[in-house]
A and B are shown apart, each in its own frame.
Chain A
């Protein structure tokens, strides 16, 4: 399968042979071979010259989860590089991936189970054994004078939902063991994630439009890239994959145009950076759609056959969104919108990239829908070089089907969010405070730092600190964090480099990559992989999960999936023989036996064939009565879409009972009182800004990911102080000079001690502060403070920075958007004053 990998060398050779055709070619190639150096796969100690031991594994510094090779010298992990056998990251890995060594060796790791002995948040701990820790967790007991209930107590009382499990990062087999086995077997589905603070608006918009949430942009095969608020040269769900392909495309002359409020590195590398007012990307996309329809550059067949609207209706709907109107809204010139729209409409194919810059807004879902419409009407959907659904490995793995129950605290306050398809995790603590939907007795976080990562830090801290609201707070973590610091019990997990899991991130080559994460070094101290811990907890509770250990689970998954476990251990990645990219899978016609049978129903209203037994319907009659759209989990039984008198695979729905069409016109949204066609939703707070008010946006940089890499010394050395970016004109009005200390105030709170950085790389009227920094309890490199059990290394004494930056979440409210529950990280209205 590695033939799919285009290395620089092969690429060069290819060019050499095509340009020199014949005569000189053989000589050239021989010479070229003689001097060729290999790119990776081996490594030698610069001191001793000895070859370092190589172990393939998988990264987990961010959700991109690339395949890596890890080099071990004298039992110590010393280097990480990309796995050249990976078709996704092609032997490359970013700065974060390489700095991950610190996740193992950072001086502030938690190496023993820690029990709180002082007041909550006082920072007084006692090291305890795993046996004591699990006994406390299962049977309850006393923590610093207060009695707490255990897992067994709750389960025996018939209230397993009183145990809430809230994770930040859990994918692949890590999630499969816990979410698909342990938690349902235990009986709780009070389970939260973190998608709402990420990009849920994008996901929900995809689910409303064309099904599964992950989309990819086939930039390497495209002719034009239109980018709304994505920063893929610095951070992206598939950063290394997309960045490599995009720079290749640019080098081949493909134009990249970026709309962003800030000159990100992506904007800087783009052929054009177009500054835009925050939250108005949708307006520009709609105006572009308008131009494309007016100019007749649309794909009539796709619109008429595969969408839920038609050319006439679309034209009529888009009439209101002229480029001139969009200029007034977004500050992007009408002329520019028109010319780009024509260019994009003529690009065959083109692809529209969008991310948090466009979607982490009040109107995020509508913005994303507008961008999908842009791709859709141009005929860029599911074609080579267009916008497609990513293809990831589909591991088959053991699952337990229990009948778990849950507390209704996961989806925000009633009526706030129309379709919380990935929950509203930033509302969980507020729901707990409110208490009307109940409060968990045990609140367990896993690889999650709610105090820091959610908006409204102060309120998060106050709730987590309150023993009346959260009686027993357990954190599973690898190092001290702001949230673990407030916990009653910390269970030390292994880092991703000491861990077993299979993983399945999507591949931009449209060929699935099955890959493995395996321990590169022995787990440090008393740390234990939490998946193994839950297997032991299950045993102690008398639950049989059907597998003995994480490795056993992985072996069983591999066996069921037809993947050779030993091969994965040796090579790290595996690709199915003969797999090829599949384009336009929706247009595949289904043979009649696929959609006939006793379990299968045709929903006349939508034309969807569906298998009612896979929904929550009690009987066939109940399913028919409710209909496809209204039956809970009906989408799980989706079979095909009837168009005319043929049945097609269609756009398979996920999370929502949409039809198998490309739903530009959304009945689901109409039902909730929104405009069924993609529309511009003005952000209420931005409409009447006062003179002194500014909009605060946030961003990520290339050498940090989220909130969990700041104790990686090589990264924090490069990026530790996050300034507030402000345009010189905006700053001048406030008498702010470069380097001044300022305070950023909002209704939620204020960010103190911010350093102002004047830059012409930002839209005036906006200030921007990156995430990542401003930790107050995350070890010495991140926060300047040593954590409990700190173990010095030589570099501790060489920390040359004293400013650890600021966290904008002190001023950002934890409020959801009305459709998906997206946390609005780009919308906050603030004032900025000199400190």
Chain B
């Protein structure tokens, strides 16, 4: 009997994880659309669908946010208060403003007013970046959890959001019947680059964990060798990052729609796993 202690139910559950996922996706699609709209000729045709996905994804995200509350009908209270110390308070306000922006942005794209949309998009850029980063900031603000105690976390979340944004856009385009031609190849390079960045950040994260004291080291060991190694090594890193990267490199010129969908699906699985691990392990639950 080494320790007899009681823990309360964890604060963040799978609904929260899904909400994190969608807010990342929202941020990613908006940034992708903007990126495609400005300059990236090869990606031009991606700008519109990505813009349309953004408010839809955010709507789902906001719905999940409300659903994860214990008192969803008191949600309005968050909108009559502004607490500068609370990341969530910032988040609530930013997300709401961003929802309006992204809705207008998508509307403009749909009306084929690309130039106006791009102008609005520039205004929306900081909001989009914040949306992508803030779930990580929120976890950082929760003190005493070794895994969350990392400045890299928001950036890992942001890159994860961009990855899923591309993956979801590819799937949507494929479903809409678009042939895997030029814009796809552009997106492929982006996926490769983002995966590389994500892998680098995860590696630095481990450096941080191994030098961050006993609790942090314990988590690192658990992820690499312990009961979570399957989820982390196999699902998040191998299935979610390395296999897609490998597929994209090996099948360089493939025009197979199935391959693109498969890569996208794997990336989504990887990012979702990452968010589950970060949230649940961070709470000392597993």
Contact = CB atoms under 8 A, between A and B. Distances in A.
Contacts of B1: 725, 757-759, 761
A757 B4 CA distance: 12
A725 B1 CA distance: 9
A263 to B, nearest CB: 9
Interface string A382-412: 0000000000000000000000000000000
Majority SS of interface residues in chain B? Answer: loop
Interface string B1-30: 100000000000000000000000000000
Nearest to A757: B1
Contacts of A725: 1
Nearest to A759: B1
Nearest to B1: A759
Nearest to B6: A718
A757 B1 CA distance: 7
B106 to A, nearest CB: 46
Interface string A359-402: 00000000000000000000000000000000000000000000
B4 to A, nearest CB: 10
Contacts of A759: 1
A759 to B, nearest CB: 5
Interface string A747-778: 00000000001110100000000000000000
A725 B4 CA distance: 14
Nearest to A719: B4
Q: Interface residue tally of chain B, by bracket?
A: under 10
Contacts of A761: 1
A190 B220 CA distance: 70
A759 B1 CA distance: 5
B126 to A, nearest CB: 45
Interface residues of A, number: 5
Nearest to B9: A800
B200 to A, nearest CB: 40
A757 B2 CA distance: 10
A242 B219 CA distance: 45
B17 to A, nearest CB: 23
A758 B2 CA distance: 9
B76 to A, nearest CB: 25
Interface in A50-102: none
Interface in B38-94: none
Contacts of A758: 1
A758 B1 CA distance: 6
Nearest to A725: B1
B91 to A, nearest CB: 32
Interface in A710-755: 725
A761 B2 CA distance: 10
A264 to B, nearest CB: 13
A761 B1 CA distance: 9
B8 to A, nearest CB: 11
A640 to B, nearest CB: 54
B6 to A, nearest CB: 9
Nearest to A738: B1
A328 to B, nearest CB: 31
Interface in B194-252: none
Nearest to A761: B1
Interface in A109-126: none
Nearest to A263: B1
Contacts of A757: 1
A400 B209 CA distance: 80
B273 to A, nearest CB: 28
A286 B1 CA distance: 34
A443 B228 CA distance: 60
B3 to A, nearest CB: 12
B151 to A, nearest CB: 37
A726 to B, nearest CB: 11
B148 to A, nearest CB: 27
A95 to B, nearest CB: 15
A536 B1 CA distance: 53
B223 to A, nearest CB: 24
A724 to B, nearest CB: 12
B2 to A, nearest CB: 9
A221 to B, nearest CB: 34
Interface in A94-150: none
B196 to A, nearest CB: 43
B51 to A, nearest CB: 47
A563 to B, nearest CB: 45
A127 B1 CA distance: 46
Nearest to A718: B6
A527 B131 CA distance: 63
Interface string A548-585: 00000000000000000000000000000000000000
A275 to B, nearest CB: 16
A584 B1 CA distance: 46
A760 to B, nearest CB: 9
B7 to A, nearest CB: 12
B210 to A, nearest CB: 28
A417 to B, nearest CB: 38
A759 B2 CA distance: 8
A759 B4 CA distance: 12
Interface string B173-204: 00000000000000000000000000000000
5 shortest A-B CB distances, which residue pairs? A759-B1, A757-B1, A761-B1, A725-B1, A758-B1
Interface of B: 1
5 contacts: A725-B1, A757-B1, A758-B1, A759-B1, A761-B1
